[in-house]
Amino acid sequence: MDTNFTLSCPIPISDYPNVLLAHGGGGKLTNQLIARMFVPAFSNPALDAQHDGAVLSLLPGGAGSLVAFSTDSYVIHPLFFPGGDIGSLAVHGTVNDLAMCGARPLYLSAGFIIEEGLPMHMLWRVVQSMQQAARAAHVQVVTGDTKVVDRGKGDGLFINTSGIGLLEHGVRIAPQSVRAGDVLIVSGDIGRHGIAIMAVREGLEFESAIESDSATVADEVMQLLDEGIEVHCLRDLTRGGLASALNEIAASARLGIYIEEARVPVRDDVNAACEMLGFDPLYVACEGRFVAFVAPQDAERALALLRGQQRTQQRTHSSGAQSADVQATRIGVVREDHPGVVMMRSRIGASRIVDMISGEQLPRIC
């Protein structure tokens, strides 16, 4: 019998007697909730890696093929937004989590929690969008579940997707694999998804339409691995944005991360919207962007491959100005000094710490 069982709550009730929206925002409170409550309760080697998905062996003793397994739930409001909807987002999000483990996505499950009264044509529109996104990502939805809750209890529709992918390359892609000297590459402009959601949610109109960047990044990741690029870590820039992703990796790797503000790609219209709304684009979520930690000798080749892939996608799925300025960019480097800290050199040459956000900039953006 386990004699160490305790009834004391790992998160002091006096600090947070109730769950806050910020506990789901991808910042400090989210990490505190995971680290103090969920990880100790369910601790095991796969979970303790705290990656975007779990890397598992199919056979006892670590034999056989390795697979990645991931799950995510989508509660975005509104259900439809410029550049996507909850259906395509649910596919993209889980496919991207598998890709961040270095796995080729293969199969998804889909769980629907539907509020009574949701118009059937809206549900069908979401299902069609999921089907199209799954086909484009080369994955199959092979199992699922449907629940209906009382009117007023479900906010229209929630979706959970889980995914399985196959690891075809013998590399360990994880925060613990990051090394001093690694180069940071962001796959494209940041902050567009969060601003697109806020604009439609609040009825804001800008001079140019801002569409979400929601998309699968699996093809880009697979190309890097197929071409032998030495990738040490990958992370998609969802809740908490680029800043939170870098802080999580710096803490896990116990190394310092240094980035250049002038190199971080932010579109002019997104930057203007952030200034108007009082947001920092470093913390605004993306749904089709990732950061790669690459060995320095492979950095330029990785950039060339990503930019070539993006040019191909733009020719195939041209959407005008929305995709014209998407470009992978080298934004920083990993160092041994200041372990666990993210530092940024500003446009005027000053240095500051980029901390993990404490509260919630944009709730329910995924």
In terms of phi and psi (left: phi > 0; alpha: psi -120 to 50; beta: otherwise), the region of 50 is left
DSSP state of 333: E
**H or E, element range at 84:** strand 84-85
Determine phi and psi for 224, rounding to 5 degrees: -60, -45
277, pLDDT greater than 80 = yes
Could you check whether 55-167 and 175-353 share the same CATH topology?
Answer: no
pLDDT in tens, 218-254: 999 999 999 999 999 999 999 899 999 999 999 999 9
Q: Quote the radius of gyration of the chain (alpha carbons, Å).
A: 20
Give the contacts of 38 (CB within 8 A, at least 6 positions apart): none
The gap between the terminal CA atoms of the chain, to the nearest Å, is 41
Write out pLDDT tens, residues 285-309. 999 999 999 999 999 999 999 998 8
- Domain locations in the chain? 55-167, 175-353
Averaged pLDDT for residues 102-126: 98
The rounded distance, in Å, linking the Cα atoms of 47 and 64 is 20
Q: What integer pLDDT is reported at residue 321 of this predicted model?
A: 43
pLDDT higher at 158 or 52: 158
As a CATH number, domain 55-167 is: 3.30.1330.10
Side-by-side strand order, sheet with 231-236: 231-236, 290-294, 183-186, 329-335, 256-260, 342-345, 351-353
What average pLDDT does the chain have?
90
Position 69 confidence tier, pLDDT thresholds 50, 70, 90: very high
The hierarchical CATH code for the domain 175-353 is 3.90.650.10
Tokens of residue 197, six digits: 């959601």
SS3 string of 154-196? CCCEEEEEEEEEEECCCCCCCHHHCCCCCEEEECCCCCHHHHH
Say how far apart CA 107 and CA 46 lie, in whole Å: 20
State the pairing for strand pair 351-353/329-335. unpaired
Q: What is the mean pLDDT of residues 317-328?
A: 55
Which segments of 295-341 are extended strands (E)?
329-335
Strands 66-74 and 80-81: unpaired
Residue 179 to residues 119, 328, 339, 345, Cα–Cα distance (Å)? 51, 21, 12, 21
- Comparing 10 with 214, the larger pLDDT belongs to 214
Structural tokens at position 86: 């909850």
- Is pTM beyond 0.85? Reply is yes
